[in-house]
Amino acid sequence: MTTTAAETSRERPASLWPAAHAADARRPRSLQTKIGASDTVCARRAGYLLHGRTPTDAGEKRKAILGTFLHVGMLEAAREEYGWIIERRVEDDTIRGHIDAVQVDKDTASRLPKRLRPSLPAEETTVEDIKTKSPFQWDTVLRHGASDAEVRQVLLYADLLRTEGFADIDGQRQLARLGPLPVGRIRFRFINRDNGDDHVQEMPFSAERARGARWWVEQVRAAQAPEDLPRTFPGPGLSAICDNCPFKTACWGAAIAGQRPQSILVHDDAERERTLAEYVEVSEQIKPLKDRLKELRAQLDGSKPGAYGDNVLSWSGGKPTKADDVDAMVALYRQAGLSVPMAPDAAAMKAQLKTADIPVPQRLDHDRRTAVSINVTVRKKP
Ligand code: SF4
């Protein structure tokens, strides 16, 4: 029997990413059009989802998919080893979400059927969220912990559990029978996607902060259109979240050649004047800090790498750069019996012209452009 091309590509796929993307698109979160707690990262984006707008951009999803795979493995291990309640739905009339893990307290555990009872109850019922991070984000995680958006998301999960309990749906009816649970704390478990390092951050559950998160959701729900909602992030090229946002084009418009997407925010000369004035003000504010940074950098020159107080010093760079080895190339050509191209020696010709005080002829290269720099000077009063 002959194997068709389609069968061969299924038997020996060059990449598993198409399958991973297809599986990800079928996940409940990817199909969700109601506002979900995990959609509360950006107000404008939450608005697009809530209004059922069709995504305009595919975005790069491989990192997110890897994160999902890691989640599944870690959560399954926590369920098998400790009996944690994992991946469960919580919802009310306005918002819903999937909690990564709940570690119930002793009292709540005693109300569960034996087979669902955890081997390790918590001192107080804890809602846990696992976040996978790249090595580039790791230092920020260790220094600052969860972002405002991440805290908002988990506060919403915890508040839904505290006020409604687990959703009464197939597969978790017994959990739903527990009713609202007394959530005592929330926990973030950050995992470094590169080396597996983990970092745990815990905080008491605060009903007041949860009210703030609910208020944020109410603002999104109250908007007549997504465009009425603020953009939480500064846009493509300045924020990785915007770079990978499925509504990037809806939010910022189609790219204009040679212009940054943020330029759509300035409509007329009055706005240009305000933006320029703020640019000057911010430049003046950061100048002393930049100068001080240069001084401190100079003082640290030659210091040995290592831990000093709360910070770890290391150095990178300082290595010889690579350049084309023309002699080796000529030798290789000769070995292979190829003729060595005899291009004019531009550097020597330029040097000769300069010695003779003759200007070096130049032409415009339209394929390469100089970087566009902004220059602002004080306007002369008439
Ligand atoms: S592009 Fe950025 S600002 Fe716009 S909706 Fe997406 S995340 Fe929000």
User: Which residues have CB under 8 Å from 264's CB, separation 6+?
Assistant: 252, 253
CA 233 / ligand 1 centre spacing (Å): 6
What are 82-93's pLDDT values in tens digits?
A: 888 999 999 998
Query: Where does the pLDDT of residue 25 fall: very low under 50, low under 70, confident under 90, or very high at 90 and above?
Result: low
What are 367-381's pLDDT values in tens digits?
A: 788 888 888 778 887
Bridge-based pairing of strands 125-133 and 96-103 is antiparallel
Which residue's CA is minimally distant from atom 2 of ligand 1? 242
232 CB within 6 A, ligand 1:
yes
Which residue's CA is minimally distant from atom 4 of ligand 1? 251
The mean pLDDT of 241-260, rounded to a whole number, is: 90
Q: Considering the chain, what is the average pLDDT of its residues?
A: 88
Query: Which ligand 1 atom is nearest residue 44's CA?
Result: 5
Q: What is the pLDDT of residue 323?
A: 85
Report whether pLDDT(30) > 50: no
Global pTM? Answer: 0.77
CA 351 / ligand 1 centre spacing (Å): 52
246 CB within 6 A, ligand 1:
no
Query: Which ligand 1 atom is nearest residue 48's CA?
Result: 5
Report whether pLDDT(29) > 70: no
Tokens encoding 118:
């955890």
The mean pLDDT of 11-31, rounded to a whole number, is: 68
CATH topology of domain 60-226: Lambda Exonuclease; Chain A (3.90.320)
The mean pLDDT of 249-264, rounded to a whole number, is: 90
What are 120-158's pLDDT values in tens digits?
A: 889 999 999 999 998 889 999 999 999 999 999 999 999
Helices of type H across the chain: 5-11, 17-26, 28-31, 43-50, 62-82, 106-110, 135-144, 148-163, 173-176, 207-222, 240-243, 248-252, 269-300, 326-335, 346-355
Which of residues 61 and 240 earns the better pLDDT score?
A: 240
45 CB within 6 A, ligand 1:
yes
User: Which residues have CB under 8 Å from 135's CB, separation 6+?
Assistant: 192, 193, 194, 195
Which residue's CA is minimally distant from atom 7 of ligand 1? 242
Query: Which ligand 1 atom is nearest residue 226's CA?
Result: 5
Report whether pLDDT(320) > 90: no
Query: Which ligand 1 atom is nearest residue 246's CA?
Result: 6
- Give dist(CA 288, CA 278) in Å, integer: 17
Query: Where does the pLDDT of residue 1 fall: very low under 50, low under 70, confident under 90, or very high at 90 and above?
Result: very low
Which of residues 287 and 61 earns the better pLDDT score?
A: 287
CA 229 / ligand 1 centre spacing (Å): 10
SS3 at position 249 = helix
Query: Which ligand 1 atom is nearest residue 248's CA?
Result: 1
The mean pLDDT of 346-353, rounded to a whole number, is: 88
The mean pLDDT of 144-173, rounded to a whole number, is: 95
Q: Where are the domains of the chain?
A: 60-226, 258-292
Which of residues 379 and 102 earns the better pLDDT score?
A: 102
Query: Which ligand 1 atom is nearest residue 42's CA?
Result: 8
242 CB within 6 A, ligand 1:
yes
Query: Where does the pLDDT of residue 27 fall: very low under 50, low under 70, confident under 90, or very high at 90 and above?
Result: low
Q: What is the pLDDT of residue 26?
A: 65
250 CB within 6 A, ligand 1:
no
Q: Which of 48, 228, 229, 231 to mutate to test the pocket of ligand 1 (most atoms within 8 A of CB)?
A: 231
- Give dist(CA 35, CA 47) in Å, integer: 8
233 CB within 6 A, ligand 1:
yes
User: What whole-number percentage of the chain has pLDDT above 90?
Assistant: 58
CA 42 / ligand 1 centre spacing (Å): 6
CA 170 / ligand 1 centre spacing (Å): 34
Q: What is the pLDDT of residue 374?
A: 81
